[in-house]
Amino acid sequence: MTSGLKSPSDYYMKLINNFPPRPITNQAELIATQNQINSILDKRNLTQDDRDYLKVLGTLVYDYEQQHEPIPILKGVELLKALLEESSLEPRNLAYIFESESIVLDVINGKHKLTENQIKELAKLFHISPSYFVE
């Protein structure tokens, strides 16, 4: 017996037996693994066994996505749009950086370019390098 490892609980073994974690090799397996993750996350009170199992499945998904799904490199206004959506922010939430919501909308719609000051402020807000906002 290997020292340092605790014996898995019956519940953890049930999780593994119902959906054995295996390296993901195709899109169908990815979807099945994501569905398994979602079914566990839908539970109200996650146990430590649930969290441990989710880490294993999450690692498998991450490994597959790193190899098979290149992450698009967004810059400038496209990045700003994605960050707004991801952060559940509205253009009005950025009015303090742009002076008004209408200027935010003009930038998003390509009518105005980002200024150096706006780029610096957006970089601070989203905790990323200002270079990502330069097109």
The reported pTM is: 0.52
Fold of 76-133: 434 Repressor (Amino-terminal Domain) (1.10.260)
Confidence at residue 4, expressed as pLDDT on a 0 to 100 scale? 64
How many angstroms separate the most distant Cα atoms in the chain? 67
pLDDT tens sequence across 20-33: 999 999 999 999 99
**Could you give the angle at which helices 48-68 and 10-18 cross, rounded to 10 degrees?**
30
pLDDT tens sequence across 31-56: 999 999 999 999 889 999 999 999 99
| Secondary structure (H, E, C), 67-123 | HHCCCCCCCHHHHHHHHHHHCCCCHHHHHHHHCCHHHHHHHHCCCCCCCHHHHHHHH
pLDDT tens sequence across 63-84: 998 888 776 688 999 999 999 9
Determine the Cα–Cα distance for residues 119 and 50; give it in Å rounded to an integer: 41
| Residues 6+ away with beta carbon under 8 Å from 104 | 91, 92, 94, 95, 97, 98
pLDDT of 3 strictly over 80: no
Confidence at residue 48, expressed as pLDDT on a 0 to 100 scale? 94
Domain boundaries, the chain: 10-68, 76-133
